[in-house]
């Protein structure tokens, strides 16, 4: 029997390989017999390892994302898959646009969920507004401001960046000075909730300065949307992106975005094609809008999940939801500080949903995180960039923003740190 035929045995399972072995062993050369035995061993391993049903141990998700998911959202995602042009599904898209407008606090018509995570939303906003050679100002005080700069440079923007130490926020005068010194700019980008540092950036006054300069204001709300005030129209934001896996408590996979009429005007006046075909809002909008022109196959069941997650947000109410996140943040902060665990962000500008704290001196932060997960089934995140190896990032987002989560973590931390 040929080597090719024998090697095929590994794909047919243990029973067939056993039968083949009994039939052929007496007629095979020593080399062939060894190969047949190898195939048998492979089949045994495959049956033992690869054909077992998926088994996942649950845990409390208290890192920088994803957050715990409400059972109603998971149930929505388990609904029957239908076509992306099914009238039922198109109705779901309409609902999502309206609910996102409510959560973003905007009347922007171009409001939708990009098929991709929050980073796809960032890229969608940048590549649709920026053409090669356009000037953009990016404000960097953590990982995600730096990522925005990277995306803008890849899109061909002439990027000017200003920076603040990690954990600090920008004062409006710094943006005013940068525009006066290096402008004019087509777009000014800044992160509302810097997930790498736990810093909450005040926006309203900065947005007014940007608008007065004639630039478009781009805002990263990946971590903040649904967990603290985001007021797109009230602040005068021209483009904004978020993610589903943070305070909206939906699995990762979609990125809510919204564009103002001024941003739409810039988009439609482009002289060059949008750099990304997949994220080209001039085409994607025709699927989400009344034309219903096919662009790409939407992630049907993820969209079902977002629909239910947004329903949960609006059932609770925006202000009560923001207040809940702030309340449990204060409880966590009090408990951690009583153990000598201190916050890294400016005390006047700390996020409620992302708590970046310093590991005490002499404590192996990675070992603590591992024991939290292994022994207590609680997941928290480690530091990034300048905070790598010396910080924990604790998320209180969406369903994970509860007193039960706080008490479970504090109890476990007391055991591990003392």
- Spatial CB neighbours of 356, under 8 Å, sequence gap ≥ 6: 167, 196, 197, 198, 199, 343, 344, 345, 383, 387, 391, 392, 393, 394
pLDDT in tens, the chain (418 residues): 444 443 444 444 445 555 555 554 555 555 466 666 666 666 666 666 667 888 899 999 999 999 999 999 999 999 999 999 999 999 999 999 999 999 999 999 999 999 999 999 999 999 999 999 999 999 999 999 999 999 999 999 999 999 999 999 999 999 999 999 999 999 999 999 999 999 999 999 999 999 999 999 999 999 999 999 999 999 999 999 999 999 999 999 999 999 999 999 999 999 999 999 999 999 999 999 999 999 999 999 999 999 999 999 999 999 999 999 999 999 999 999 999 999 999 999 999 999 999 999 999 999 999 999 999 999 999 999 989 999 999 999 999 999 999 999 999 999 999 8
Q: Domain 317-417 classified CATH 1.20.120.330?
A: no
Contact predicate 84/308, CB 8 Å: no
Q: What is the pTM of this model?
A: 0.89
Q: How far is CA 401 from the centre of its chain?
A: 17
User: Could you tell me the residue ranges of all domains in the chain?
Assistant: 3-49, 71-315, 317-417
- Model pLDDT, residue 387: 94
Residue 243, φ and ψ in degrees, nearest 5? -140, 155
Closest by alpha carbon to 256, among 128, 148, 125, 69? 125
Assess contact for 190 and 219: CB atoms under 8 A.
Answer: yes
Tell me the CATH architecture of domain 71-315.
Answer: 3-Layer(aba) Sandwich (3.40)
């Amino acid at each position: 029997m040929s080597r090719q035929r024998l090697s095929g045995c590994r794909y047919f399972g243990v029973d067939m390989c056993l039968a083949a072995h009994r039939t052929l062993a007496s007629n095979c050369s020593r080399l062939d017999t060894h190969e047949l035995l190898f195939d048998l061993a492979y089949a045994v391993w495959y049956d033992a390892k690869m054909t077992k049903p998926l088994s996942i141990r649950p845990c409390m998700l208290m890192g920088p994302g994803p957050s715990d998911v409400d059972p109603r959202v998971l149930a929505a995602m388990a609904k029957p898959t239908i076509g992306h042009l099914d009238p039922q599904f198109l109705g779901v898209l309409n609902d999502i646009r309206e609910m996102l407008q409510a959560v973003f606090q905007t009347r922007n018509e171009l409001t939708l969920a990009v098929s991709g995570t929050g980073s796809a939303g960032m890229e969608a906003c940048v590549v649709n507004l920026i053409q090669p050679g356009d000037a953009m100002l990016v404000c960097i005080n953590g990982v995600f401001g730096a990522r925005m700069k990277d995306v803008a440079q890849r899109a061909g923007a002439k990027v000017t960046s200003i920076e603040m130490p990690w954990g600090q926020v920008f004062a409006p005068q710094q943006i005013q000075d940068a525009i006066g010194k290096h402008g004019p700019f087509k777009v000014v980008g800044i992160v509302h909730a810097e997930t790498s540092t736990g810093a909450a950036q005040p926006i309203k006054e900065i947005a007014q300065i940007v608008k007065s300069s004639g630039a478009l204001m781009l805002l990263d709300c990946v971590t903040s949307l649904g967990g603290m005030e985001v007021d797109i129209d009230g602040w005068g934001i021209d483009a904004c992106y978020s993610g589903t896996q943070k305070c909206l408590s939906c699995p990762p996979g979609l990125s809510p975005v919204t564009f103002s009429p001024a941003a739409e005007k810039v988009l439609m006046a482009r002289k060059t094609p949008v750099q990304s075909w997949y994220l080209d809002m001039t085409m994607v909008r025709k699927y989400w809008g009344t034309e219903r022109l096919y662009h790409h196959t939407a992630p049907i069941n993820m969209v079902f999940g977002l629909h239910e997650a947004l329903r949960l947000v609006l059932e609770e109410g925006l202000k009560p939801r923001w207040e809940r996140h702030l309340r449990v943040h204060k409880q966590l902060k009090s408990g951690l500080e009583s153990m000598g665990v201190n916050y890294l962000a400016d005390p006047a500008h700390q996020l409620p949903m992302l708590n970046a704290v310093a590991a005490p001196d002499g404590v192996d932060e990675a070992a603590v995180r591992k024991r939290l997960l292994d022994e207590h089934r609680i997941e928290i995140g480690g530091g990034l960039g300048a905070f790598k190896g010396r910080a924990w990032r604790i998320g209180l987002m969406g369903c994970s923003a509860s007193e039960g989560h706080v008490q479970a973590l504090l109890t476990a931390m007391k055991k591990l740190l003392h």
